[in-house]
Structure 1
Amino acid sequence: MKHLLPALLELFAGPECPAEQFSPDSSKVIGLSEVVVSANRTLETKRDIPQQIDVLTARRIRLQNPATIADALQNSGWVFVQKSQHGGGSPVMRGFEANKVLLVVDGVRLNNAIYRAGHLQNILSVDANALERVEILNGAGAVMYGSDALGGVISLYTKQPRLADSTGFAARTTNLLRYATAAREKTAHTDFSLGWKRWATFTSITATDFDDLRKGRHGIDAYPGFGEVKQYVERQNGKDVVVANDEVNRQKFTGYRQLDVVQKLLFQPKTGQRHLLNLQLSTTSDVPRFDRLQTYRNGALRYAEWDYGPQKRLFGSYQLELTRRRGLFDVLRLTPAVQAVEESRLVRDFGKDVRQENTEKVRVLSANLDLFKNIGRHELRYGAELTHNRVRSIGEGVNVVTGAVTPIVTRYPNGSTYATQGLYAAHRWEITDRLILSDGLRYSRVQVNAEFDPRFFDTQYRQVDQSSASLDGNVGLVALLPAGLRLSGLVATGFRNPNVDDINKTFEQNNGTLIVPNPGLKPERVVNYEVELSETVQDRLLVSLTGFYTTLRDALVVRPFTTPDGKTTTTYNGQTYATVATVNTGKARIRGVAARAQLALPAHLRLDGTLTYTQGRDRVADVPLDHISPLYGRAALTYQQAKLTAEGSVLFNGRKRVHEYSPSGEDNLPQATPVGALGWYTLNLRTSYQLTRSWAVQAGLENILDTNYRVFASGISGAGRNFFLAVRFER
């Protein structure tokens, strides 16, 4: 154990070793011997970690052939995913969603100052075709990651450049062309790596074009016409016109386009020293907000336009990695990074000539320092993290006829800042060969500053200066019992400081209320308890059952709100709204179970199953919490022999009755049936055949029964019967 982790780290980081060499093909190996990174920011075996971790490998993503990474997460059966539009995908983990789930790309956090509490689509800015692996760390992760990791951490690792071997030069390439029928999707992807003895590059480019998504035709007999799009709005001869949809199962205005680019440059002047430059760009066309475009008021369509403007993410990081035994560390990794994020909302009511355009630009500077030291049976990981967010918020009213532009209220105070600082230390002690203790501690500090424009806000909202600190820890124990049994337990705390979106947002909600700023918010805090029992027969069987219980204090929820001057209504953009705001509720709790099963069968078959059940409640108001997903899971049977891989699967969700919905409106009850979200399942078949050493063809039929279904809290129906065909060339 003394030299194992540093050696594995060199294997993982070293470009001469592809990911598949240290991460065995999940279709062949069953057990807990897989190596993961996210739990403690260094390589370690899943078996030694007391926290539940799921791993989505590049091989599994390849077989799924997903359109987006959100689809890959949903199809895994491990993560619940909500969608309000086709260009959406908001992961939910253990009853937490959006800004309570931390997204990390190549070791750098994506969550920024304006990640909201409702539903997010930011994970779509990471290209599934460029990924080497995804690690899903369930439960509070504050010690290693600080604020926001309440429900868990989704760590996405993009492919790495690879140095050449003794031949002096190596070139590799992967190319994909894909077409899918449900959204008439067209995807083209290429990536290539060039490697020399000291230098290597990696380039990835993916372009995708989605048309309007077709929903399923069958399965909701009790509510005929559910999800059908009978009308939509067009602009004709300078006027808004309601048009009858002659293809009611085609969800009008759901198509969009996306471009993703990754460029990496690696320099390794000598063994034990690596320099990596990592550049990423993701951008989209306008993305129509489908659920809003199908919103009716007084029996008529309310909006003529409701689009997210192009979602842009520009990411740049440099990483210095030193791997050698020293007094203070065996491995050091320093990662400064910069991100420029832009998003916008383009909204125009039916019959109106003025389009409200709200644009947000966020610049994020960050730096991570991570160190590892091995001392006998003890492993020490420690480091620091700094981030600084600056928000530029712009509001304009644009007359679509004359082109005249006038200022309107901004979504956030322009020039708001959000900054964090953190110091952490984590320790692992291999007490015996069968007993492993893990513990850690982190000190975090967060500052939020904002100044409101007096043209649009009363003086009570003029300025916010907030600062908070948090001390978080965890302790876990793993016992490796005889006969392949493993028992683990963990207690971990976490927190999420209110960000610019929580404190300062002004926004009209879909239920007709207006959310207004609340400068008096405090951080929400959790304590997570979990225990897992598993049985492993190496390369044959893995069965695990995880129980978790999370308590929340000062949980952030949306509730009716009385402003400091005693008002319960607010006039906004010429209309009067009932006022709501994000507030702290005293106590809440979430509990649930998660089961995993993998079984190797004769005749080259493998059976996989997942099941997750969650329940949550605000214990002060005695109402259900929002974002609590119904029972969900997946079962799959996979055949792999020689050149052929085939998988049949069923993906399913339980129902969510009306009385189980949160009163906050975040669960989108108006988008469900009169009795709530119905249970559903889809049958799916995917195949891959290796024609030659370089050429492969893949095909699949998803939602074979053409089921009409809508995922809980979603504003768009799932894809109907979807046939996809893909051709791959790799060398």
Structure 2
Amino acid sequence: MKFSVNMRNIIFVVCFLIIQVVQAQEFVILDAENKEPIPNVAIYNNDKSKTVISDLFGKADLGIFTANERIIFKHIGYQLKKTSKALLSRRENKTVYLTMNAEQLDEVVMSISKWEQQRKDIPQKITSIDAKSIAFTSPQTSADLLQNSGKVFVQKSQLGGGSPMIRGFATNRLLITVDGIRMNNAIFRGGNIQNIISIDPFTIKNTEVIFGPGSVIYGSDAIGGVMNFYTQTPQLAVGDSLRIKGNMDYRYSTANNENTLHADLNYGKRKWGLLTSVSYSDFGDLKMGKYGPESYLRNNYVVPSVSGDQLVVNPNPRKQVPSGYDQINVMQKVTYKPNNFWDLDMGLFYSETSDYSRYDRLIRPNKAGDGLRSAEWYYGPQKWFMANLQAEQKGKGKFYDGLKITNAYQHFEESRNDRGFQNPNLYSTAEKVDALSSNIDFENKRMGDFRLYYGGEYVFNKIHSDGSQKDIQTNEVMGSASRYPDGSTWQTLAGYFNLEYKLKPNMTILTGLRYSHVWINADFDTTYYGFPFQGANLSTGALTGSLGLSWLPKPDLQVTWNGSTGFRAPNIDDIGKIFDSEPGAVVVPNPDLQPEYAYNMEVGIQKNFKDKLVLKGAAFYTYLVDALVRRDYQFNGQDEIEYNGETSRVQAIQNAAKAYVYGFEFGMEAFFTENLSMQSNLTITEGIEEEEDGTDSPGRHVAPTFGDVHVIWKNQRFKADLFLAYNGEISNDNLAASEIGKGYIYELDANGNPYSPSWYTLNVRSQYELSSSLKLTASLENITNQRYRPYSSGITAAGTNLILGLGYHF
């Protein structure tokens, strides 16, 4: 009996020791910066006779390696790491940290073909912003997310907004997609648009920006560039386990007394998973800087009242009253993976703002120059809902290796409300857009050195538009002209192919074609305006193409060339809009429009000097013909009509100009030590619009020269970024005619003419990991408290701004 008990004890001890030894062989591989697990890391010895791959949680069993055997850790996006198991075993937490590569030409990108491609095979310039970078910069909105990259210029008419400018183009000449679904709808306008703030930066996994035309894959509007936002997806469990993880974040900023709360929760099983995300932000009135142009100060503002509007003195002229608003964003994702060949994903998105003032309209002076023109000018709640369902199959098709079917429904709501000073009539227009889209995309990579991508797209938009005017004294509501033809429709059907050809192992050709056909149907209401036409019916097509070359003469050198065309078909905003474009001018419908076309060429070079210095440069030239621009017009033979009680000059969107834009983009990354590095960006753009009579003027959306310089220090727990942001001057001679008409948002030069001054800011960001679950971020922006207003912006930027954030991960 005693012998039996002793044997059981011995067996128990031996089993316990075996378990400990087995557990001791398991290590987890983590990103050195964000401590996230790295899957698919190849781990092998010198002669590659032993190989292990890390799992989805970054775990790998190193039991096959001997204690003193040399072990190599390799991953496409990280620096090679060499060590031994003996050295690793000395670490109590059994972790291995990998550091990201300086600049990885083998990085995978999605935007060019909607399928994964190696960056080194792409002839176009693409910049990628991942979730780790977004968390560090802690942007208030997705517009700020792009601006923080240092490669995209962002204009703001008010705090609740942000309109990107890329290579001299903006608004409806840039395309926005979310998870591959176009957000641009039929009322995206040529004036500054704010839809990008509907995308919650907390939910973004990765953002890829294509510079230059992307019409072959994305169709109409992709002239200046494409901004692709890919959101987080549910993470599944390994085996029959349960994977539960989540994040909670809080952010506060002093410049506008911002309070933001965010929470998300991931629930994953082996075949299906759920991801729920909620964010809420409350932004107060924005406070501008102390040192800068006096003309930017908000010396007085209007207090609206039924009994009579009052112009009051602002006790704090640096406070931009009113500019605050609040916003909520909700996302629900569901993923189902029945086997290794199919993925089914459903996404639900909802975003809504409160009312928010259009600040640039509230600072317009009246004709006499002794007061303000508007008592009220505000947007109603901006609402966006999207439901999408995507099915993806890999490896089973007869004529393809990959198949994606994406169906989506979107609903947009927006409204405009304005009332003149001491005018009892509040004029309102409200718009709703229902958008349906269906995409089918194929990938075929079983063709030797060829890889083919092809597919089709159908998009349908229906617009609901209503106008009204309300007497705020009597509360009487009467009908008024709507902004757009109510019930109008816009639709497009398209097919495309994109071919990738490996001419040599170090040389890739990428070419493609797309044909798109667009239909518009709009019936005009003649109740309020005697239109000389009853409707607009447009049926037009566009053929676009691209041809590019990527050449790597050496593994650390890339040279690219790309030629492409892009187009933008007229939409409902172009053909059928009635609106107050600027003081004393009104835009009326024009049913005689055709698409505008862009022809683009760019060359690029990138050189990596032993992972210590990376230099990048690109030069581009774009020629736009039949440009859709706003110009003087006649309505029923008249140059002026009465609009909202004011005599206004008549204008309309017309195919009345040509334009050319050219420029240079530079980037640099320098790595001095393992902890210390430097990054810099510089963009120089020039552009001219040429009229039919041969006269020309500066391009409206050509941003000033802008750039930044960052000095970054980091270790495994702490990261700090000291950086300078810079914008150049746009003189009065280089200011677009439409901008000169808004002289009240600009400073005056020595001759009393409006111009956009240069400016700079000095800033510092930091992030500290208090524990593996808790992170603190702290930023101090505009340290020298500069008072500046970015080009074409109506609202002045924040002064010295302290931003604090706390994030908890579990």
| TM-score of the superposed pair, with normalisation by structure 2 | 0.86
2:753 matches 1:684: no
- Asked if 1 retains the 8 angstrom alpha-carbon contact of 2:365 and 2:744, the reply is no
2:806 matches 1:727: yes
* 1:519 partner SS: coil
- Asked if 1 retains the 8 angstrom alpha-carbon contact of 2:170 and 2:701, the reply is yes
2:718 matches 1:639: no
Residue 370 of structure 1 aligns with an amino acid whose one-letter code is D
Change beyond 3 A, Cα 1:668–1:331: farther
Determine the structure 2 residue equivalent to 1:705: 784
Change beyond 3 A, Cα 1:154–1:632: same
Partner Cα distance (1:630, 1:53) in 2: 21
- Asked if 2 retains the 8 angstrom alpha-carbon contact of 1:626 and 1:666, the reply is no
* Correspondences of 1:225-624 after superposition (within 5 Å): 225-236=294-305, 238-297=307-366, 298=368, 299-374=370-445, 375-482=447-554, 484-537=556-609, 539-563=611-635, 565-620=636-691, 621-624=695-698
Determine the structure 1 residue equivalent to 2:257: 184
Instruction: Give the deviation of 1:312 after TM superposition.
Output: 0.0
2:238 matches 1:165: yes
Output one character per residue of 1:235-261: Cα deviation in whole Å (capped at 9) or x when no partner: 357321111110000111000000000
* 1:239 partner SS: coil
- Asked if 1 retains the 8 angstrom alpha-carbon contact of 2:275 and 2:332, the reply is yes
Residue 722 of structure 1 aligns with an amino acid whose one-letter code is N
- Asked if 2 retains the 8 angstrom alpha-carbon contact of 1:22 and 1:35, the reply is no
* 2:217 partner SS: helix
Output one character per residue of 1:537-564: Cα deviation in whole Å (capped at 9) or x when no partner: 364332111000001110111111123x
Partner Cα distance (1:669, 1:429) in 2: 52
- Asked if 1 retains the 8 angstrom alpha-carbon contact of 2:39 and 2:57, the reply is no
- Asked if 2 retains the 8 angstrom alpha-carbon contact of 1:661 and 1:667, the reply is no
Output one character per residue of 1:480-529: Cα deviation in whole Å (capped at 9) or x when no partner: 11362211101100100010001111111224211111111111100100
* 2:161 partner SS: coil
Unpaired runs of 5+ in structure 2?
1-37, 42-54, 59-74, 79-97, 750-754
Instruction: Give the deviation of 1:659 after TM superposition.
Output: 1.2
Determine the structure 2 residue equivalent to 1:97: 170
2:152 matches 1:79: yes
* Correspondences of 1:117-156 after superposition (within 5 Å): 117-156=190-229
Instruction: Give the deviation of 1:32 after TM superposition.
Output: 2.1
- Asked if 1 retains the 8 angstrom alpha-carbon contact of 2:300 and 2:312, the reply is yes
Instruction: Give the deviation of 1:357 after TM superposition.
Output: 1.3
Comparing 540-549 with 720-729, greater Cα deviation is found at 540-549
Change beyond 3 A, Cα 1:192–1:58: same
Change beyond 3 A, Cα 1:209–1:538: farther
Bigger radius of gyration, 1 or 2? 2
Partner Cα distance (1:321, 1:438) in 2: 24
Instruction: Give the deviation of 1:184 after TM superposition.
Output: 0.3
* 1:664 partner SS: helix
Instruction: Give the deviation of 1:370 after TM superposition.
Output: 0.8
Partner Cα distance (2:439, 2:327) in 1: 30
Aligned mate of 2:290, from 217, 228, 237: 217
Comparing 43-52 with 21-30, greater Cα deviation is found at 21-30
Aligned mate of 1:653, from 707, 710, 727: 727
* 1:266 partner SS: strand
Partner Cα distance (1:233, 1:302) in 2: 10
* 1:481 partner SS: strand
Determine the structure 1 residue equivalent to 2:22: none
| TM-score of the superposed pair, with normalisation by structure 1 | 0.95
Instruction: Give the deviation of 1:9 after TM superposition.
Output: 14
Output one character per residue of 1:582-632: Cα deviation in whole Å (capped at 9) or x when no partner: 111342211111111112111511211111111111233311121111101
Instruction: Give the deviation of 1:213 after TM superposition.
Output: 0.1
Change beyond 3 A, Cα 1:201–1:10: farther
Change beyond 3 A, Cα 1:349–1:9: farther
2:114 matches 1:41: yes
Comparing 207-216 with 630-639, greater Cα deviation is found at 630-639
- Asked if 1 retains the 8 angstrom alpha-carbon contact of 2:517 and 2:539, the reply is yes
Partner Cα distance (1:664, 1:679) in 2: 20
Partner Cα distance (1:401, 1:692) in 2: 59
Instruction: Give the deviation of 1:580 after TM superposition.
Output: 1.3
- Asked if 2 retains the 8 angstrom alpha-carbon contact of 1:103 and 1:153, the reply is yes
- Asked if 2 retains the 8 angstrom alpha-carbon contact of 1:112 and 1:389, the reply is yes
Output one character per residue of 1:631-653: Cα deviation in whole Å (capped at 9) or x when no partner: 01111111110200111111111
Comparing 254-263 with 349-358, greater Cα deviation is found at 349-358
Determine the structure 1 residue equivalent to 2:268: 195
- Asked if 1 retains the 8 angstrom alpha-carbon contact of 2:489 and 2:522, the reply is yes
Partner Cα distance (1:317, 1:31) in 2: 32
Determine the structure 1 residue equivalent to 2:125: 52
- Asked if 1 retains the 8 angstrom alpha-carbon contact of 2:248 and 2:262, the reply is yes
Instruction: Give the deviation of 1:26 after TM superposition.
Output: 9.1
Higher relative CO (CA 8 A, sep ≥ 6), structure 1 or 2? 1
- Asked if 1 retains the 8 angstrom alpha-carbon contact of 2:77 and 2:106, the reply is no
Partner Cα distance (2:739, 2:785) in 1: 29
Partner Cα distance (1:335, 1:668) in 2: 43
Cα RMSD after superposing both structures: 1.9
Residue 415 of structure 1 aligns with an amino acid whose one-letter code is G
Partner Cα distance (1:10, 1:505) in 2: 53
Unpaired runs of 5+ in structure 1?
1-7
Output one character per residue of 1:344-397: Cα deviation in whole Å (capped at 9) or x when no partner: 001111112221111000000001111100022111000001000000001011
Partner Cα distance (1:661, 1:637) in 2: 33
Determine the structure 1 residue equivalent to 2:277: 204
Comparing 582-591 with 101-110, greater Cα deviation is found at 582-591
Residue 697 of structure 1 aligns with an amino acid whose one-letter code is L
- Asked if 2 retains the 8 angstrom alpha-carbon contact of 1:479 and 1:486, the reply is yes
Residue 732 of structure 2 aligns with an amino acid whose one-letter code is V
Instruction: Give the deviation of 1:709 after TM superposition.
Output: 0.5
* 1:72 partner SS: helix
Partner Cα distance (1:493, 1:269) in 2: 41
Instruction: Give the deviation of 1:402 after TM superposition.
Output: 2.8
Partner Cα distance (1:187, 1:22) in 2: 36
Instruction: Give the deviation of 1:53 after TM superposition.
Output: 0.2
Partner Cα distance (1:405, 1:666) in 2: 36
Partner Cα distance (1:357, 1:690) in 2: 49
Partner Cα distance (2:720, 2:605) in 1: 31
Determine what percentage of the aligned residue pairs are the same residue: 36
Residue 654 of structure 1 aligns with an amino acid whose one-letter code is G
* 2:296 partner SS: coil
Residue 528 of structure 2 aligns with an amino acid whose one-letter code is F
